[in-house]
Amino acid sequence: MPEPAHRRHIIFLILFLPGFLFLSACGINRSIFQKNSHAQVYDDFVLVKTTAGVTLSSLSARYLKNPDKGWLIGEFNRITRVRPGQHLVIPLSSFNRGGLKADGYQTVPILVYHNFSTTRSEKMTLAKDDFDAQMKYLKQNHYHAISLDQLMDFIDYKAPLPGKSIVITFDDAWRSAYDIALPILKKYGFTATFFIYTDFIGGGKALAWKNIKELSEMGFDIQCQTKTHRNLSILQKNESFKEYFKSLETEITYPQKLLKKMLNKECRYLAYPYGETNNLVIAMLKKHGYRGAFTLGREPNPFFIDKYKINRSVIYGDDDIKQFKNYVSVFQKIDKMPKKSSKTVIENQTIFKTAYFLKQAKAYENVDDLQRAMFYLEIAGALSPKDKQIAETLSRLKTTIDAKSKLSFQKGKGFYLQNRFEDARNQFLTALRYDPDFKPALDYLKNRLIPKSYISYVPGKNDSLKGISEKFYKDPDLDFLIAYFNALKSGSKPDPGKTLMLPILPREINPEKIDIHQEINSTKHLLEKKKYQAAIHVSDKILKIDHLNKAAIDSKNKAYYQIGMEMIQNKKYFEAVDTFKKISPGYEGVDEAVQNAIQKELLNAEGLLKKKKYDASIALSEKILSYDRSNNAAQKIISTAHCRLANGLLIRKKYDEVLNALNGADPADICSKKIRTALKLSMKKEAEVHYIRGVKHFLNEELQSAINEWEITLKLDPIHAKAKKNIKNARNLLEKLKKVK
């Protein structure tokens, strides 16, 4: 009986390709598309096979209608550039608007610069070379400088941001920012915002309006920092409340009008001079159309930050690059998160078939990323619309998402009612991670957990503005405030049933009347009775009226110190450190107590390391570093734990996980160097095993199995020349066999 044609064809090719298995060539690039087109467009996503010349920017311009959103495609597909023949998924709707993950959430750092020098740095002046080094670090580490409008869309939960987003700002309008900082910004391609206080413009060391116009025309954002740079939060000496109120209005509205006149641009954001604000200032900003405002809090910003108290970090002249790196954190971990499966998400294999997306969906479900799991299931369903099992799996996942989001929300409400606001916030974030459109959770995060600057009041028939003012402010003469913020005429009668918004006045402006001498004696008695929280409360009452009262400050310090020492005795070391931070600098015994508390936690971390509880040891050491950034002992524990984790994974041949673990170890450690060397050798040996298997499959005419083994070979040893050549030629054989058939 004659041999089948395809068998004869294989034998013929083998005979005439004697050197086939031992030459080098390029790798595989197999298309899943059966049509000639390079894209399949669906309602919620696009599947694209890239061609030569295509970039992330050109893809986003075509499919997202915005060339600046290439980062979104890159981050979703875990790539930084496009190569011809790649298969990419392009989501067509906003994905993960709040930057939420199972172990935490995205944060956006905002940097503040003031003056610059070509030579040396001082407290508020940064040397040119230092600024260049900082911008270089941001560029090399793939940070995206974003505008304030982009930031505000993120805070308003309207749009996602690049994972490494940062805002660069300049305060006051120093001329040196134009002469020294601007060329460096342009060199690295970064945008920035210039906050100006208008009375400074045109001064000897300040920008002129022509410079500001140039900056605006270049695309840099110009925003307001008041008229005179006065502290908006307090009355000046001998200033009446009405004079203060009128001054606030001028400080806030004058720069708006001037920017409109000089640049024909709206002023939508304000940087508080000295970073200080109060509820009255915020109420006035809202009335006059400001979209957000900025303090000088040093923390990076999550999407649920109060948009009139957005944090910025001042970069001082004596900050070194190590300190600078601490200011640009883009992710906040949440403690006490449940452990998830350690199974890693499948890497993009450039093969778009239903089975691929089903595997992706399962992998993401295993790590509790249910939104992404559902997205991949929907792609699988679109590719195989008649597959009932996919539809059933999708329905089950939607039910799970609904149940988990509601459960997290209910837990959050329970914590909220117990005044456990941080725990409540974390549960509301979890609810939104499961269901990004869960409006009740968003309402708690954006409204109830953010202190209000207004009180709502519905007047009755007999209410007058003076009567309402007397009721809420204990002063009928503050009725003009109610009229101002509710667009009423002074002395008019409010409409019954129509809600009025009453700004909440800070106590330093509308203080409670107390006997300071009597209250100071009260704090002494409370301290003697060890009623420390009560002593703090009374001290705060005094300080709101007399903020420099030494007796009240001392009582408050003593109370916090004793509370902190009790926490150390109860082994609540981090809580103790947080308490000690509330004490005035230089208070006797505090520095020693803080170091004692941190040392106790270091001993705990070392104990966990000895017990081989590496994850717990790393988590505890990272928390220590969040309190003491330069703690070498904690850094050493982290490096050692990662190294030992990597060693265990290497024994089990989990090579990808070994690399992930080594990323947390100090590359200079001997342990890290040894494991990296052992990893390379082990992967090469493993690659050779798969290569030989591929040869055996090939000799048995099992071409696809041979290709699969050689692909594994290349994953383990990307420079394996024989495997590259074999794959190319084996694919050619398969194509020829198809033609013979």
pLDDT of 407 higher than 80: yes
Output 510 or 340, whichever has higher pLDDT. 510
Q: What is the pLDDT of residues 51-70, one digit of tens each?
A: 999 999 999 999 999 999 99
User: What single DSSP character describes residue 98?
Assistant: T
| Arithmetic mean of pLDDT, 596-624 | 92
CA–CA separation, 280 and 272 (whole Å): 13
Domain 39-91 in CATH 3.10.350? The answer is yes
Say whether 62 sits in a helix, a strand or coil: helix
Query: What end-to-end distance do the CA atoms of the chain give, in Å?
Result: 19
Residue written as tokens 């902190």?
Answer: 564
What is the per-residue pLDDT for 141?
Answer: 95
What is the per-residue pLDDT for 442?
Answer: 96
What is the per-residue pLDDT for 513?
Answer: 60
Q: What is the pLDDT of residues 672-713, one digit of tens each?
A: 889 889 988 999 998 999 999 999 998 888 888 999 999 999
Report yes or no: 80 and 74 within 8 Å, Cβ to Cβ: yes
pLDDT of 420 higher than 80: yes
With CA atoms as reference, report the closest residue to 197 among 158, 231, 168.
Answer: 231
Tokens of 278: 């109060």
Q: Which residues pair with 117 in a beta bridge?
A: 127
With CA atoms as reference, report the closest residue to 212 among 250, 264, 160.
Answer: 264
With CA atoms as reference, report the closest residue to 353 among 690, 653, 40.
Answer: 40
One-letter amino acid of 318: D
Q: Is 361 exposed, middle or buried (0-12, 13-18, 19+ CB in 10 A)?
A: buried
pLDDT of 323 higher than 70: yes
SS3 string, 671-683, reads HHHHHHHHHHHHH
| Arithmetic mean of pLDDT, 643-665 | 87
Report yes or no: 176 and 115 within 8 Å, Cβ to Cβ: yes
Query: Where are the chain's structural domains?
Result: 5-28+673-740, 39-91, 100-333, 354-448, 454-503, 516-645
With CA atoms as reference, report the closest residue to 65 among 79, 46, 51, 40.
Answer: 46
Tokens of 537: 């409360």
CA–CA separation, 43 and 62 (whole Å): 15
Residue written as tokens 């954006």?
Answer: 446
With CA atoms as reference, report the closest residue to 409 among 390, 436, 431.
Answer: 431
Average pLDDT, the chain: 88
What is the per-residue pLDDT for 21?
Answer: 38
Q: What is the pLDDT of residues 566-578, one digit of tens each?
A: 999 999 999 999 9
With CA atoms as reference, report the closest residue to 152 among 139, 163, 167, 164.
Answer: 167
CA–CA separation, 726 and 26 (whole Å): 10
Tokens of 665: 């170890």
Category of 172 on φ-ψ map: left (φ > 0), alpha (ψ -120 to 50) or beta: left
What is the per-residue pLDDT for 516?
Answer: 85
Long-range (24+ apart) CB contacts under 8 A made by 421-430 are 421/449, 424/449, 425/304, 425/449, 426/334, 429/98, 429/100, 429/105, 429/304, 429/334, 430/404
| Structural class in CATH, domain 100-333 | alpha beta
Please give the C-alpha separations between residue 668 and each of 75, 663, 665, 676, in angstroms, as whole numbers: 30, 12, 9, 11
pLDDT of 387 higher than 90: yes
What is the per-residue pLDDT for 664?
Answer: 85
pLDDT over 90, % of the chain: 66
| Arithmetic mean of pLDDT, 455-475 | 91
Intrachain domains 39-91 and 454-503 with the same fold: yes
**CB within 8 A of 212, min separation 6: which ones?**
173, 194, 196, 201, 222, 262, 263
Please give the C-alpha separations between residue 25 and each of 337, 433, 703, 728, in angstroms, as whole numbers: 47, 45, 17, 7
What is the per-residue pLDDT for 133?
Answer: 96
How do strand 193-196 and strand 115-117 relate by DSSP bridges? unpaired
The percent helix, strand, coil of the chain (3-state, each to 5) is 55, 10, 35
CA–CA separation, 87 and 77 (whole Å): 9
Tokens of 710: 């050689």
CA–CA separation, 251 and 245 (whole Å): 10
Sign for the CA dihedral angle at 454, 460, 465, 468 comes to: negative
Model confidence, pTM:
0.67
**CB within 8 A of 148, min separation 6: which ones?**
167, 193, 221, 223, 268, 269, 292
Band (pLDDT 50/70/90 cuts) for residue 604 is very high
CA–CA separation, 143 and 330 (whole Å): 10
Say whether 277 sits in a helix, a strand or coil: coil
CATH classification of 5-28+673-740, choosing from 2.40.160, 1.20.144, 1.25.40, 2.40.50? 1.25.40
Among the listed ranges 13-22, 42-51, 287-296, 587-596, which one has the minimum average pLDDT value? 13-22
Say whether 313 sits in a helix, a strand or coil: strand
Q: What is the pLDDT of residues 233-283, one digit of tens each?
A: 999 888 889 999 999 999 999 999 999 999 999 999 999 999 999 999 999
CATH classification of 454-503, choosing from 3.40.600.10, 3.40.50.150, 3.10.350.10, 3.40.50.300? 3.10.350.10
Residue 50 phi/psi, 5° resolution? -75, 155
Tokens of 384: 């195989």
User: What single DSSP character describes residue 20?
Assistant: G
**CB within 8 A of 422, min separation 6: which ones?**
none
| Arithmetic mean of pLDDT, 332-345 | 57
Band (pLDDT 50/70/90 cuts) for residue 113 is very high
Band (pLDDT 50/70/90 cuts) for residue 405 is very high
Which CATH number does 354-448 carry?
1.25.40
**CB within 8 A of 321, min separation 6: which ones?**
133, 134, 137
Please give the C-alpha separations between residue 562 and each of 443, 569, 609, 710, in angstroms, as whole numbers: 38, 11, 32, 67
Tokens of 689: 């095993």
Q: Which residues pair with 529 in a beta bridge?
A: none
